[in-house]
Structure 1
Amino acid sequence: MRIELSPRDVARIGLVPSADPLWELASSVRLLAVDDGFGWWRRWVRPRLPESVRVLEWLYAESVPGFLLPAAADLGAGLATVLGTGADRLRGELRGRTRDPGLPGWASGLVNGSVAGLPRLVQAMREYFEAAVEPHWDTVCAQVDADRELRTRVLSGEGVDALLASLGPALRWSAPTLSAGFGGEPLVPGGAGMLLVPTYFAVRPEVVLCRRPGPVRLGYPALHRPVRQRTARPLSPNRALGALLGPTRAAALAVVAAGCSTSELAARLGVTPSAVSKHTAVLRAAGLIATRRERNTVLHTLTPLGLSLLGG
């Protein structure tokens, strides 16, 4: 997959304002067929899955049809848009989909553009979301919000090249091309830009080309880190922690709680990047933080031990 981004597209790159329920629904359904992480969630969800999940597994098994990922403010609005999908679009986006004789007739009819099955499809999507995704929605939103905040800081502090390079090992940015290691035709937004969709349940990128004049939407795996609820106050070190680690390292641990790059941490602490590297090396060796490099950006997050220590 290649997305060819013109200067106008690059100037119009943005992030969704919050977690997208239909992207989380789609990504979680695809997780049921793989073993790439989220084993805890698969073990938890399997006894709770509604019977209608078979239809969703069939629909999402290959690439996710664009009509199932509309741009919408919330779950209700998204499902209403799915319900209004036209027959031509159904036929076009499901063309070539392998039929499953074990599915109900209304589901198989979708391939032929039968909109009569859409109410049942929307009901199946709602039942699945309520059983599999909604119980984890606070965690999903907290993780996606944290990822968005981090990407926004990278964009404002280091520019769009650093942002695109930070999206993970499955995506490679070499201007003007963003590429990923899975199939598909080259996409050309044509100046419409690109909207990034951090997705909690994703294990690989997913691309949807919106109908003109909409932007390309690129879903990518959100960084997972220990975070508190969205309403929680920022963590801060206490005196005992300062006495244990030293005031600078204790402060560094508090800053890393929100996720940050080395340059951001240096700016927050008012020290040089080389000094920060020494402090993070000590914290990492103690098992309090984890560090990962994404192209030219080094990102730091708390480990469960670090979060426990900071939380007191």
Structure 2
Amino acid sequence: MALRIHFTSADFPQTRLAQAPDPLWEVLLSLHMLQTHDGPLVFDQWRRRTRARLDGSMRQLLALAPPRGYSPDFLTPAAATGGLEAGIDAVLSTPGTRLRDDLVQLAVSQRRMPPGARLLAEGDPRALRDLGEAIRAYHRVALAPYWSRLRSDIGADLAARTRAATGSDAFFDHLLRTLHPGLHWERPVLTMLGPHVNGDLHLGGRGLLLLPSYFCWRKPTMLRNQDLPPVVVYPVEHTTGRLLQDPAGQGGLAALLGRTRAVLLETIADGSTTTELARSADIAAATASHHLTVLREAGLVVTRRVGGAAHHTLTPLGAELLGSGSAL
């Protein structure tokens, strides 16, 4: 089977290569990986640690993200390119008709309705709030401690692709031709091969987001709903064997800074507010502020006021330390 993605001349200026991992696509695809035995060399240690740390609310996410078949499109909104909290806000703001349509499709695909899905399909406010908290908690446990590793491998993929060709026509032809063996480019059609896709997608001037992913495994994927912003998610190459090292272990940034400050520094790599950092580290906001003061005085973090919130980013020294953390 195959899906043919049709470009027009208006689509090339709107087609772009994402420059960072998307937190909600990584949430969804890591939930898939958590329920399989795929990629044991890369993922088995991560799977054991993550499964041991899941609570009941996080386990309910597994039913919404089965490793085979359909997963609801509303779990991976385009707004998540702006960060985890922007993505969660978009999930919780999904129109009721889309919630129902996506969850009915999930029930058809899995031949059953996951626990709690009926309330979600009805747009129940408490069910939506619980979903947002479950996604946030899962990200904190399963992804935030390893985010620098994800960024490193995705950054390596992007660097290799962006220096491969110059000139817009040559760049796009080379990029689309070499993106993944499961994608075949013959201008003006990009064909995605696989049993999970079928039909035709006409971009119609919207362009296409090409999104590299750490937890995407073996084959590219995309949204089912063709009315949503078009995106092709493709797997990056993992640069070493046992990649997802335990940040609580005796080594790396955790040994140098302490586990909490190491988690904070890794989370700040994407830019974060104090509230977001406190959630990522599962600590009080006042405790996060104390650790941030230490990191700031060490020259690793800079803080600016954006609206009414304190927004934290890495200094060049902080970014350098984070990038070399696995070798400390």
Corresponding letter in the other structure for 1:121: L
**Structure 2 equivalent of residue 129 of structure 1:** 139
The 2-side partners of 1:109 and 1:42 are apart by 29
- In structure 2, stretches of 5+ residues that fail to align are 244-326
The 2-side partners of 1:139 and 1:96 are apart by 34
SS in 2 for 1:108: helix
The 1-side partners of 2:22 and 2:35 are apart by 21
Corresponding letter in the other structure for 2:58: V
The 2-side partners of 1:135 and 1:59 are apart by 23
Q: Does 1:191 align with 2:191?
A: no
Out of 183, 186, 196, the residue aligned to residue 171 of structure 1 is: 183
Out of 107, 111, 130, the residue aligned to residue 120 of structure 1 is: 130
SS in 2 for 1:159: helix
Out of 94, 100, 106, the residue aligned to residue 103 of structure 2 is: 94
Cα distance, 1:95 vs structure 2: 2.1
- Asked if structure 1 preserves the Cα contact closer than 8 Å seen for 2:70 and 2:105, the reply is no
Corresponding letter in the other structure for 2:177: A
Out of 6, 20, 23, the residue aligned to residue 22 of structure 2 is: 20
Cα distance, 1:223 vs structure 2: 2.1
Moved more, 123-132 or 155-164: 155-164
Q: Does 1:156 align with 2:166?
A: yes
Corresponding letter in the other structure for 1:42: R
The 1-side partners of 2:103 and 2:114 are apart by 18
SS in 1 for 2:98: helix
- Asked if structure 2 preserves the Cα contact closer than 8 Å seen for 1:55 and 1:107, the reply is no
Structure of larger gyration radius: 1
The 1-side partners of 2:186 and 2:13 are apart by 16
SS in 1 for 2:233: strand
**Structure 1 equivalent of residue 74 of structure 2:** 67
Deviations 1:117-173, CA, capped at 9 Å, x for gaps: 111111111111111111110101111122122222225364211101211122222
Cα distance, 1:63 vs structure 2: 2.7
TM-score (norm 1): 0.65
Cα distance, 1:40 vs structure 2: 3.1
Q: Spell out the pairing of 1:104-119 with structure 2 (5 A cutoff).
A: 106-119=116-129
Deviations 1:287-311, CA, capped at 9 Å, x for gaps: xxxxxxxxxxxxxxxxxxxxxxxx9
Q: Does 1:54 align with 2:56?
A: no
Cα distance, 1:66 vs structure 2: 2.4
The 1-side partners of 2:27 and 2:76 are apart by 9
Q: Spell out the pairing of 1:182-261 with structure 2 (5 A cutoff).
A: 182-203=196-217, 204-208=219-223, 215-226=229-240
Q: Spell out the pairing of 1:278-297 with structure 2 (5 A cutoff).
A: none
Relative to 1, partners in 2 of residues 1:189 and 1:209: Cα closer, same or farther, differing over 3 Å?
farther
Relative to 1, partners in 2 of residues 1:215 and 1:108: Cα closer, same or farther, differing over 3 Å?
closer
SS in 2 for 1:225: coil
**Structure 1 equivalent of residue 193 of structure 2:** 180
Q: Spell out the pairing of 1:32-43 with structure 2 (5 A cutoff).
A: 32-37=34-39, 38-43=43-48
Relative to 1, partners in 2 of residues 1:40 and 1:173: Cα closer, same or farther, differing over 3 Å?
farther
The 1-side partners of 2:126 and 2:113 are apart by 19
**Structure 2 equivalent of residue 83 of structure 1:** 92
- In structure 1, stretches of 5+ residues that fail to align are 229-310
TM-score (norm 2): 0.62
Out of 115, 138, 141, the residue aligned to residue 148 of structure 2 is: 138
Corresponding letter in the other structure for 1:31: M
The 2-side partners of 1:209 and 1:96 are apart by 10
SS in 2 for 1:187: strand
Relative to 1, partners in 2 of residues 1:94 and 1:101: Cα closer, same or farther, differing over 3 Å?
closer
SS in 2 for 1:220: strand
- Asked if structure 2 preserves the Cα contact closer than 8 Å seen for 1:66 and 1:209, the reply is yes
SS in 2 for 1:3: strand
Matched pairs, number:
226
Relative to 1, partners in 2 of residues 1:149 and 1:102: Cα closer, same or farther, differing over 3 Å?
closer
**Structure 2 equivalent of residue 5 of structure 1:** 7
Corresponding letter in the other structure for 2:102: E
